[in-house]
Structure 1
Amino acid sequence: MATSRTMHRLASGCLGLALASGTGMAGAEEALTAYNTYQSVPFVTEKGGLAQDLVAYLNQKLKGKYQFQLNSLPRDRLNQTVINDPNFKGIVLLLNPLFVDDAERKKFLWTQPVMADSNAVISMASKKIEYTDPDSLKGTRFAGISGNRYAGLEDRFGKDIQRDNVGEEMTNIRKVAAGRADVTIMAFSTYRYLVKQIGESAKLDTTLYVSSKPHAKFDRFIFVSKADPVLAKELDGVIGGMKADPAWKAVLARYAIE
């Protein structure tokens, strides 16, 4: 009898531990990957960058529910893995539906916009190029980024637009400023950050000209798999309040983003 009572107490104790453990697990944060495909400033910098700050902001707002870990990877790798898996786990940062062939937003669940951006057309102030359409760049020396595709211009390269590629945007800014290229195109957020960092010493803000019409305007979003509507709703709730949040405004100001 003593043995039976002892076994009963042990079984009850184990059951209690199991229930307590199950309750704890149910309330634990879910660890997920936050994918970022931008390797340039301001998205990635020596001290972190906008992508890292965005992940930290989301982690703070969704504490107790989700914990995101930043993974910066090339776009090609994202396409081969995440984009091709309709049930992928995690979130993808700062892209636009057009960038992943989801203009109608049927493939993924998208949040509200995180920020607005554009592709700036940058030339020398002494030889201004005001962009209206691809013909505006006819006869120019175009400073590009290896692997990047430029909408409306791809079939012109090697014909009436001479393209020369490098690996990062800073080199292209310097090429245009020095007159070794006529024009380059990059995210305006990247341009603003670079000018903020080196413009005062190099006087880039007066040496370079940004066309009043960009190559393209777009918003940056976060998207998740259609298999995870709860996560999408949680993210959208946070992002809906970002615009008025002083903490997020401070993050954008850090990278010269309005």
Structure 2
Amino acid sequence: MRPLWIVSALLCYSVITSAAQVIEMVSPYDTPPFVVDQKKEQGLVYDLASLLTVRSQGKYQFKVVVVPRVRLQKILQRSGVYVVPLVSPKWFGDGDEKKYLWTSALMEDENLVLSPRKRALEYESPASLQGKRTSIVLGHAVEPVQQLEKAGMVKAESTQSFNNSLRMLARGRIDFMVMGRIVAVYLIRDLGLEDQIYISDKTIERFDRKILVSPQSQKDLHKWLEGEIQRLRRSGEWKKYLRAELSLKNCDLAADPQFI
């Protein structure tokens, strides 16, 4: 059950959106904790949309649209006003942040190397994964793993969901998999696999999660979003949403993504 303060924010969201400019928040995520339940509009992406809508005081209404990554690439090629939440510039070939407009980071994340606890794998370099078996979730390929597969260093098996891949890993059917920490921590706890999956101390890569703003969007929208993120970082309000959604109240935050 959501805390009362989140429920109150959602009630405000429904009251003030009638005359606001609708901004599509296009999410390539369909998995927890980003999208927990599409019908009930639960998850970090929905929380972010409602939070920004409320804070705009009637100027904007952020409407979440969940799409596959293939469709997102097509959306990025068309003109229009939209934002893509909690993504990294390098995933879109925009490391220098000149192709799209970007906000500051809402959080930092990192790609973890997971392995069966009975065959714990300590990642040191790509050579550590040579000859190993892994799993790639359809539509959610991780670039470092794709590169290893193309180089013939690892063998990859496709699955339909992260849950399936984690269960395969826990049973020892694959040797390792790579997942972002925020998704891995949530799903491992949700599936009760804490005692069956080992997380390597060294990560493959770290990255920032930002908001992509379409080039056709008004500069006012980008400027407003950047200002709000700076204020959210200072106030700690976004951290409250993260803790509530990820159920991290009694956990060591140092072991989870950096909550900026």
TM-score by length of 1: 0.81
User: Is the CA contact 2:87–2:211 (under 8 Å) kept in the aligned structure 1?
Assistant: yes
What is the CA–CA distance in structure 1 between the aligned matches of 2:68 and 2:106, rounded to whole Å? 21
Of the three residues 166, 175, 179, the one matched with 2:172 is 179
What is the CA–CA distance in structure 2 between the aligned matches of 1:234 and 1:155, rounded to whole Å? 37
1:97 shift after superposition: 0.8
Of the three residues 128, 131, 142, the one matched with 1:139 is 131
User: Is the CA contact 1:109–1:229 (under 8 Å) kept in the aligned structure 2?
Assistant: no
Q: Give the aligned partner of residue 222 of structure 2.
A: 232
User: Is the CA contact 1:31–1:68 (under 8 Å) kept in the aligned structure 2?
Assistant: yes
Give a deviation string over 1:116-153, Cα, whole Å, max 9, x none.
11111100222221222221111211122123433344
What is the CA–CA distance in structure 2 between the aligned matches of 1:127 and 1:59, rounded to whole Å? 47
Q: What is the one-letter code of the residue matched to 2:171?
A: A
Q: What is the one-letter code of the residue matched to 2:60?
A: Y
SS of 1:44 mapped into structure 2: coil
SS of 1:154 mapped into structure 2: helix
Q: 1:131 to 1:122 in 2, by over 3 A?
A: same
SS of 2:233 mapped into structure 1: coil
Q: What is the one-letter code of the residue matched to 1:177?
A: A
1:194 has 2:187 as partner: yes
SS of 1:70 mapped into structure 2: strand
1:207 has 2:196 as partner: yes
Q: Give the aligned partner of residue 167 of structure 1.
A: 160
1:32 shift after superposition: 1.3
SS of 2:70 mapped into structure 1: helix
Q: What is the one-letter code of the residue matched to 1:218?
A: F
What is the CA–CA distance in structure 1 between the aligned matches of 2:143 and 2:60, rounded to whole Å? 36
User: Is the CA contact 2:114–2:176 (under 8 Å) kept in the aligned structure 1?
Assistant: yes
Of the three residues 22, 26, 37, the one matched with 1:31 is 22
Tell me the number of residue pairs that the alignment of Structure 1 and Structure 2 aligns.
226
User: Is the CA contact 1:134–1:153 (under 8 Å) kept in the aligned structure 2?
Assistant: no
Q: Give the aligned partner of residue 5 of structure 1.
A: none
Q: Give the aligned partner of residue 76 of structure 1.
A: 70
1:246 shift after superposition: 4.3
Of the three residues 47, 58, 61, the one matched with 2:55 is 61
**How do 1:3-18 residues align onto structure 2 when only pairs under 5 Å count?**
none
What is the CA–CA distance in structure 2 between the aligned matches of 1:160 and 1:100, rounded to whole Å? 25
Give a deviation string over 1:2-47, Cα, whole Å, max 9, x none.
xxxxxxxxxxxxxxxxxxxxxxxxxx42111111101111111135
User: Is the CA contact 1:55–1:69 (under 8 Å) kept in the aligned structure 2?
Assistant: yes
Structure 1's unaligned 5+ residue stretches are: 1-27
User: Is the CA contact 1:116–1:219 (under 8 Å) kept in the aligned structure 2?
Assistant: yes
Q: 1:153 to 1:190 in 2, by over 3 A?
A: closer
TM-score by length of 2: 0.80
Give a deviation string over 1:59-110, Cα, whole Å, max 9, x none.
11112211111101011111112x113x421211111111111111111111
What is the CA–CA distance in structure 2 between the aligned matches of 1:53 and 1:150, rounded to whole Å? 25
Q: 1:229 to 1:52 in 2, by over 3 A?
A: same
Q: Give the aligned partner of residue 243 of structure 1.
A: 233
Among all aligned residue pairs of Structure 1 and Structure 2, give the percentage whose two residues are the same amino acid: 31
1:216 has 2:205 as partner: yes
Q: Give the aligned partner of residue 9 of structure 2.
A: none
